[in-house]
Chain A
């Protein structure tokens, strides 16, 4: 039997959705042959711009996946603490970037994050939770600062922020999902190899090869 809160919210949801649908059906609409471009001035375009910003930087992608991998490797509660801490501190870094507070060597910091996190996974380092959160939080500032300073002028900043936060979280989820393979012997080796590859990619970013 479902708890009362679930029944209440389920019924409320159905009623609310029904009201919106009825109102929508009663409204006259134009027939549209084309949908128009997803430009930065639209909320969808702004969200997409923010969403793709981390994805188009392989240094961001490598580090985000590494956070998820390391969280999965460390297990609970790091499993949820790292993906929670990272976006929060990243937002602080983003705020610093938006406010024009200079942060030295941002791109170097991002590349170093891939190296360090990849190495921690490759060498199967089981750091205490507070150290893991501190490491992840420190690197999150650099990533956030990069997103904040690269905020396109034309875009709605709120939806842009939502976009890069969601993309970052999904990359963490990807890392967590892959990291769960560490529960099996062959999977553990694969995860450590993945960490080594991420660290190698970080070195390549630092040296300018990538």
Chain B
């Protein structure tokens, strides 16, 4: 049987490789897309919560993963789509961090999540995270790639974390992968708690 392509090592090599030389400038909007890809890392609580959600959903049955994952993606898209009507970001730091901490704790105790609850959590997170984005007042041709980049980054984080959780949660003879998943959950919860304290300090 052919060994699967090692996705992440190959991707890492390609990212560090020299980019191709172009006779003409990069396609319009691609810079905005790449900027959008980086913006979730400015609002670090969103990265934390999305990673936690991905780790939680990846360890759930396929039905829960599918519906909750779609709920997050649709809710995020819906929230990003309201940018036209709101001009000030609604950065819900405490709810997002609290959700990240609770999800991390749930991963640590490794209990199954009811489908309805998973969908509700995922949709709520998607809405809260999406509402935090307000693009700078530019033309729509610049706003769309930036927003698409931010959406793409969060999707990538969710799927990467979900993939890691699915790998660790798969039935094996050794208990170490399952222990590793619980420990990852506790780390995320710990960082979220610490960030909540920092926010409380001001």
Contact = CB atoms under 8 A, between A and B. Distances in A.
A17 B194 contact: no
A84 B183 contact: yes
A25 B19 contact: yes
Contacts of A79: 175, 179
B163 A13 contact: yes
B19 A27 contact: yes
B160 A5 contact: no
Interface stretch (A52-60, A112-120, A126-134, A155-163): A155-163
Contacts of A148: 194, 197
Given A8-B62, A9-B166, A16 B155 contact: yes
A80 B109 CA distance: 10
B141 interface: no
B65 A28 contact: no
Interface in B1-32: 4, 7-8, 11, 14-15, 19-20, 22, 25-27, 30-31
Contacts of A27: 19, 26, 30-31, 34
A10 interface: yes
Interface in B152-202: 152, 155-156, 159-160, 162-163, 166-167, 170, 175, 178-179, 182-183, 185-187, 189-191, 193-198, 200-201
B30 to A, nearest CB: 5
A202 B152 CA distance: 49
A17 B7 contact: yes
A95 B194 contact: yes
A3 B19 CA distance: 37
A158 to B, nearest CB: 4
Main secondary structure on A side of the interface with B: helix
Interface centre among A85, A87, A156, A166 (most CB of B within 10 A): A87
A193 to B, nearest CB: 25
Given A13-B7, A16-B160, A95 B197 contact: yes
Nearest to A2: B170
A90 interface: yes
Interface residues of A, number: 51
Interface in A2-55: 3-6, 8-10, 12-14, 16-17, 19-21, 23-29, 43
B120 interface: no
B191 A158 contact: yes
Contact of B194 (A24, A26, A29, A98): A98
A175 interface: no
Contacts of A14: 7
22 contacts: A5-B166, A10-B163, A24-B15, A26-B26, A27-B19, A76-B175, A80-B183, A83-B179, A84-B108, A87-B189, A90-B190, A91-B190, A94-B197, A95-B193, A95-B196, A95-B197, A95-B200, A98-B198, A158-B44, A158-B48, A159-B44, A165-B187
Give the top 7 A-B pairs by smallest Cβ distance, nearest first: A95-B197, A91-B190, A12-B159, A161-B194, A91-B193, A16-B156, A87-B190
